[in-house]
Structure 1
């Protein structure tokens, strides 16, 4: 499996690397990427249709987050610097099929939970009400705040299963602050107290071991082959 490591400090260029994973999957090569995106708020397609979208982007920029628009569905997600993003690109035309959309969600959640629990984090499925990037496919601190959300982008020959993961307590605070402003502009309910972190769940405060655990879990998991083929963008992550 192709494993893409690192990031580009330019959000638009960085996003192109993830798009390249999906293009490779269309040709039959699965791939995975786990990284810390540049400081940004990634808006979903639904956000762009809201009357407060322009104001939401301005509020993000005022807080030092570059506003970008992503292809995967879901609501806006803030990446303060140590929050992880992960993306697994899967071919759908090689005879394996990689199951249905619901099955892919279930396996992705199982994979992320397995990775986090291997690091000692106490996490479970689900999310509290009025969370960031609200959706049915989420992971939370056991009895606490949300730490991860998962979405999919599907086209005829490939699927991209992607998500975000809040690792540090500092990032959880920054996510809560930025999301409160952005969601208020978009008219989306949000409770800042619902943002959790891997560290709060008794996992590491450092995103690097979390990233490697996630990467290994996908490579060794139900969609992987156990043979990572490392391809670096740079030396930053």
Structure 2
């Protein structure tokens, strides 16, 4: 690895299709060189996506779950970070935080806790939201550091991937949960054999009407800019171009493709 630039870049806007959006951070994570120390990408997804994890692939119901998602019009992708399945569309906000200064020794609950507390503060500032850190009973993709509203419904979930070249901390903020997203979370969870309390599915707009994905995305961009002293930039165009040709069988496996098609220098 070359000398690491301490630039912290903040980018926004979708990079393309559901596959491209999930391949880009995986490529950036594995790139052997980078001209930045941290890169945060905040975007509203381009279309309906079911993002599986490696853990989901071990379920005997994965074929049925993939078929259910396809029938509902969702792209199916196996993302790089862990956790369990999450579904979203353009009513959500995704935040990918890449950090070249951290490694395996920094992985763990402290990273989840710090990010959750920061994200809770952003949501509370957006409106009259009783946002809290903690898992609620029967939530999808359960996690100790999920963010809920009122201790009843989950609105934010995060997952992490750490490699020898850094870490990727990915967060999905459900702003407006459409009927199709709700239905696919329910049906895919059933196919995978996961317990789910259906009333635990919600978006922040259910509790603070008027909030939109664009408004929430802008709030997170402003927070990262101020809190981490980030400078506005762009996701490297050569990486986006490289990711845009990614294709394969469904569900598309991000890690398999990125290992076979390494990214250019970023």
What TM-score, normalized by structure 1, do the two folds share? 0.86
Alpha carbons of structure 1 residues 227 and 3: separation in structure 2 relative to 1, 3 Å: closer
**Equivalences for residues 180-199 of structure 1 within 5 A:** 180-199=186-205
CA contact (8 A) 2:10 2:224 kept: no
Structure 2: segments with no counterpart, 5+ residues: 1-7, 241-266
Aligned partner of 2:171 in structure 1 is 163
Query: Are 1:60 and 2:63 matched, yes or no?
Result: no
CA deviation string 1:192-212 (max 9, x = no partner): 110121112326431111111
Aligned partner of 1:5 in structure 2 is 12
Alpha carbons of structure 1 residues 133 and 93: separation in structure 2 relative to 1, 3 Å: closer
Aligned partner of 1:89 in structure 2 is 98
Q: What is the Cα deviation at residue 25 of structure 1?
A: 9.4
CA distance in 1, matches of 2:172, 2:151: 19
Alpha carbons of structure 1 residues 129 and 92: separation in structure 2 relative to 1, 3 Å: same
Tell me how large the CA RMSD over aligned residues is.
Answer: 2.4
The structure with the largest alpha-carbon Rg is 2
CA distance in 1, matches of 2:186, 2:114: 30
Alpha carbons of structure 1 residues 52 and 227: separation in structure 2 relative to 1, 3 Å: closer
CA contact (8 A) 2:100 2:167 kept: yes
CA distance in 2, matches of 1:151, 1:93: 15
What TM-score, normalized by structure 2, do the two folds share? 0.77
Q: What is the Cα deviation at residue 19 of structure 1?
A: 2.6
Q: What is the Cα deviation at residue 98 of structure 1?
A: 9.5
Aligned partner of 1:118 in structure 2 is 125
Aligned residues: 227
Stretch deviating more after TM superposition (58-67 or 119-128)? 119-128
Query: Are 1:201 and 2:202 matched, yes or no?
Result: no
Structure 1: segments with no counterpart, 5+ residues: none
